[in-house]
């Protein structure tokens, strides 16, 4: 149960000649927080924090990040241990339920997921409305939102059973949806799920098998796909997760709230970075052009940024990037990709950026997207599918956070305030009198 914060001290704020006492809370780990909930009522002022760099929006027990030290924990477990020792569905169970599953719990959970992998046949008709060359994220935003029309019962967020079913359905159907989006883009017939395959293997088969040939799965590729999903599973209150919470705070349908999260994930500053990163590596083209791009990234007058570097929270090496780098090496070996120019550029770029004064001083380290794009490319996905794969992994984070918010009695509809600097009150002027 949420609401475990302890008041450990009090902060005093002097504003407009008045001293306001604000409670300070400590969590399990991480910086203390000043509770400003009563500030407006007591002092008549708001706080201003565009981009939320100093603002917490909720209490959460799901994910902890220490950006200075490069630590990421899910329900207390370090991400590298989860990526090494567990599978994606186990991590899903952990995020949703708070504990790692026992064997019977896992069997029941994965059994439930596989019962719901199929899409309603009418869902398939939506695809015909999209242009053949539609961006996969445009299709994902639309089709996830459309799924809400098929499950009106999920609107009842007061029923924990109904909520849980909605999350299970979303987790189960996202791979089927994502694979259909890919097939639609390349003009191949849809492939239906086979429920005795694992989550990642089923997804890869729905993407890459064709009726004309026997599909031969590669265990290293399946493991890499599973790991990619684990690494994207949750990342506390990032833009898309906050979007899901905010949309859900009005009592919106959970699939509609997740569709809002998909839309938020699309942008190049967030989930679109892996796509942008691979495009950048291709544009660089050869190791000898790296200094030119480093110089551009440092030039204040050039909007170019080194994609895959920097993070709002991590001011150290993103722990997910380390796991991803290792996964990329395993993939290259298993797929016998030797002397990949992209990989050579990535390794050299990372080396140079980690030593360069500009990047060191601003603490711009590689983030997960730096290597995940290379991994998805090696598996065989086109770049514009990358963010869809990210959404596939992140769905469990979105629904876990949404559920936590619904169960939190202190949560109300999300409604930030503003400082208004527009025109002061003035009287309407009829059009013929305007100069």
Residues forming the active site: 311, 369
**The binder of ligand ACO chosen from 364, 374, 379, 385 (CB under 6 A):** 364
Q: Is the dihedral of CA 106, 110, 115, 119 positive or negative?
A: positive
> How many angstroms from the chain centroid is the CA of residue 58?
18
Q: Least distance from C-beta 23 to ligand ACO, angstroms?
A: 28
The yes or no reply on residue 306 touching ligand ACO (CB under 6 A) is yes
Number of residues that bind ligand ACO (CB under 6 A): 18
Compare residues 92 and 273 and give the one whose CB is closer to ligand ACO.
Answer: 273
Q: Are 236 and 63 in contact (CB under 8 A)?
A: yes
Binder of ligand ACO out of 22, 246, 307, 375 (CB under 6 A): 307
Count CA within 13 A, CB hemisphere, residue 291.
Answer: 1
* CB 324, CB 372: distance < 8 Å: yes
Q: Label residue 352 left, alpha or beta by phi (over 0 means left) and psi (-120 to 50 means alpha).
A: alpha
Residue from the set 308, 319, 393, 397 that interacts with ligand ACO by CB under 6 A: 308
Please, what is the minimum distance in Å from the beta carbon of residue 73 to ligand ACO? 17
Q: Is the dihedral of CA 136, 138, 140, 143 positive or negative?
A: negative
Query: Which tokens go with 4?
Result: 């475990």
Between 22 and 62, CB nearer to ligand ACO: 62
Q: Does 302 bind ligand ACO (CB under 6 A)?
A: no
Please select the residue that binds ligand ACO; options are 112, 116, 279, 305, rule is CB under 6 A.
305
CB of 392: closest distance to ligand ACO in angstroms? Answer: 14
394 near ligand ACO, judged by CB under 6 A:
no
CA distance 183 to 189: 6
Does 312 bind ligand ACO (CB under 6 A)? Our answer is: yes
Residues paired with 366 in a beta bridge:
309
Closest approach, Cβ 235 to ligand ACO, in A, equals 7
**Cα–Cα dist 3/426, whole Å:** 46
Q: Which of 193, 310, 373, 393 binds ligand ACO (CB under 6 A)?
A: 310
For 75-115, strand residue ranges (E) read: 77-78
CA–CA gap between residue 231 and residue 229 (Å, rounded): 5
Minimum gap (Å) between residue 51 Cβ and ligand ACO: 6
**Residue among 185 and 241 whose Cβ is closer to ligand ACO:** 241
Tokens of 306: 């080194």
Contact mark string toward ligand ACO, 259..278, x via CB under 6 A: ----------xxx-x-----
Segment near ligand ACO (CB under 6 A); pick from 69-77, 177-185, 283-291, 303-311: 303-311
**DSSP track, 108-170:** HHHHHHHHT-PPPHHHHHHHHTS-TT--HHHHHHHHHHHHTTT-GGGG-TT-HHHHHHHHHHH
Give me the least distance between CB of 265 and ligand ACO, in Å please: 8
In Å, what is the CA distance from 163 to each residue of 160, 266, 406?
5, 26, 10
Is 309 one of the binding residues for ligand ACO (CB under 6 A)? yes
- One residue of 91, 119, 172, 297 binding ligand ACO per CB under 6 A: 297
Q: Which is nearer to ligand ACO, 113 or 307 (CB)?
A: 307
- Would you say 80 and 323 are in contact if contact means Cβ atoms under 8 Å apart? yes
369 is an interface residue for ligand ACO by CB under 6 A:
yes
- Report which residue's Cβ sits closest to ligand ACO: 310
Q: Are strands 71-74 and 77-78 parallel, antiparallel or unpaired?
A: antiparallel
- Are 132 and 254 within 8 A, CB to CB? no
And the tokens for 331?
């993939």
Least distance to ligand ACO, CB of residue 353, Å: 9
Among 264, 367, 387, 403, binds ligand ACO (CB under 6 A): 367
Residue 193 or 308: the one with the smaller Cβ distance to ligand ACO is 308
Residues between 333 and 362 with contacts to ligand ACO, criterion CB under 6 A:
362
Contact flag: residue 324 with ligand ACO (CB under 6 A): no
Nearer to ligand ACO, 217 or 267 (CB): 267
For 380, residues 6+ apart whose C-beta sits below 8 A from its C-beta are: 207, 208
For residue 379, the minimal CB distance to ligand ACO (Å) is 18
Residues that bind ligand ACO (CB under 6 A): 269-271, 273, 297, 305-312, 362, 364, 367-369
């Amino acid at each position: 149960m949420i609401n475990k914060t302890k008041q450990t001290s009090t902060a005093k704020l002097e504003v407009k000649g008045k001293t306001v006492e604000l409670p300070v809370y400590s969590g399990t780990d991480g910086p203390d927080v000043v509770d400003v909930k009563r500030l407006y009522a007591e002092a008549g002022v708001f706080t201003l924090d565009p981009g939320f760099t100093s603002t917490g929006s909720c209490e959460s027990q799901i994910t902890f990040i220490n950006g200075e030290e490069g630590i990421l924990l899910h329900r207390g477990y370090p991400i590298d241990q989860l990526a090494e020792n567990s599978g994606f569905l186990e991590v899903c169970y952990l995020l949703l339920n708070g504990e790692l599953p026992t064997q019977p719990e896992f069997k029941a959970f994965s059994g439930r997921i596989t019962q719901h992998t199929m899409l309603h046949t009418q869902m398939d008709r939506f695809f015909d409305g999209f242009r053949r060359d539609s961006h996969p994220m445009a299709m994902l935003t639309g089709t996830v939102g459309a799924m809400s029309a098929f499950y009106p019962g999920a609107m009842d967020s007061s029923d924990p059973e109904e909520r849980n079913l909605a999350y299970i359905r979303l987790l189960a159907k996202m791979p089927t949806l994502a694979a259909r989006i890919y097939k639609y883009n390349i003009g191949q017939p849809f492939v239906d799920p086979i429920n005795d395959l694992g989550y990642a293997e089923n997804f890869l088969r729905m993407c890459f098998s064709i009726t004309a040939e026997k599909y031969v799965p590669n265990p290293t590729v399946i493991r890499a796909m599973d790991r990619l999903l684990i690494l994207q599973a949750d990342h506390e209150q990032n833009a898309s997760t906050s979007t899901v919470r905010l949309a859900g705070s009005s009592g919106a349908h959970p699939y509609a709230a997740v569709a809002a999260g998909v839309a938020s994930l699309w942008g190049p500053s967030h989930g679109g970075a892996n796509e942008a990163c691979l495009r950048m590596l291709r544009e660089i083209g050869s190791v000898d052009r790296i200094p030119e791009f480093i110089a551009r990234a440092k030039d204040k007058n050039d909007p170019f940024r080194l994609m895959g570097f920097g993070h709002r929270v991590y001011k150290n090496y993103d722990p997910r990037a380390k796991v991803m780098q290792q996964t990329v090496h395993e993939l290259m070996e298993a797929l016998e990709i030797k002397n990949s120019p992209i990989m050579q550029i990535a390794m050299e770029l990372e080396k140079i950026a980690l030593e360069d004064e500009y990047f060191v001083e601003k603490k711009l380290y590689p983030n997960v997207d730096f290597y995940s794009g290379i991994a998805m490319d090696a598996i065989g996905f086109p770049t514009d599918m990358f963010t869809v794969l990210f959404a596939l992994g992140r769905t469990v984070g979105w629904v876990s956070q949404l559920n936590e918010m619904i169960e939190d009695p202190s949560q109300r509809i999300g409604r930030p305030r503003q400082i208004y600097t527009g025109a002061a009150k003035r009287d309407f002027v009829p059009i013929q009198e305007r100069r």
